[in-house]
Amino acid sequence: GAVVSQHPSWVICKSGTSVKIECRSLDFQATTMFWYRQFPKQSLMLMATSNEGSKATYEQGVEKDKFLINHASLTLSTLTVTSAHPEDSSFYICSAKGQSPISGANVLTFGAGSRLTVL
Amino acid sequence: SQQGEEDPQALSIQEGENATMNCSYKTSINNLQWYRQNSGRGLVHLILIRSNEREKHSGRLRVTLDTSKKSSSLLITASRAADTASYFCGGIQGFNKFYFGSGTKLNVKP
Contact B99 A93 (CB under 8 A): no
- Assess contact for A37 and A114: CB atoms under 8 A: no
Q: A112–B42: do the CB atoms touch at under 8 Å? A: yes
**Residues B19-76: pLDDT tens digits?**
999 998 887 787 889 999 988 788 888 998 988 999 999 999 999 999 999 999 999 9
A87 touches A37 (CB < 8 A): no
Least confident of A20-24, A43-47, B16-20: A43-47
Kind and range of the H or E element at B66? strand B61-66
Query: Residues with Cβ < 8 Å from A61, sequence gap 6 or more?
Result: none
Taking contacts as CB-CB distances below 8 angstroms, the residues of chain B near A111 are 42
pLDDT greater than 90 at residue A106: no
For residue B7, pLDDT over 90 is answered with no
How many other CB atoms are found less than 10 A from the CB of residue A8? 13
pLDDT at A72: 81
Give mean pLDDT, residues A103-114.
83
Residues from B contacting A (CB-CB < 8 Å) are: 1-2, 33, 35, 40-43, 45, 88, 90, 92, 95-103, 105
For A45, A71, A103, B12, B35, the CA distances from A106, given in Å and listed in that order, are 22, 19, 9, 35, 17
Nearest-Cα residue of chain B relative to residue A36: B99
* Interchain proximity A113–B42, CB inside 8 Å: yes
Instruction: Read off the pLDDT band of B1 (50, 70, 90).
Output: low
B30 three-class SS: coil
- Band of residue B3 on the pLDDT scale cut at 50, 70, 90: low
In sequence order, what are the beta bridge partners of A115? A10, A91
- The average pLDDT across B72-95 equals 90
Test B98 with A59 for CB contact under 8 angstroms: no
Residue type, B65: L
Name the band, by pLDDT with cuts 50, 70 and 90, for residue A83.
very high
Given CB atoms, is A43 within the 8 Å cutoff of chain B?
yes
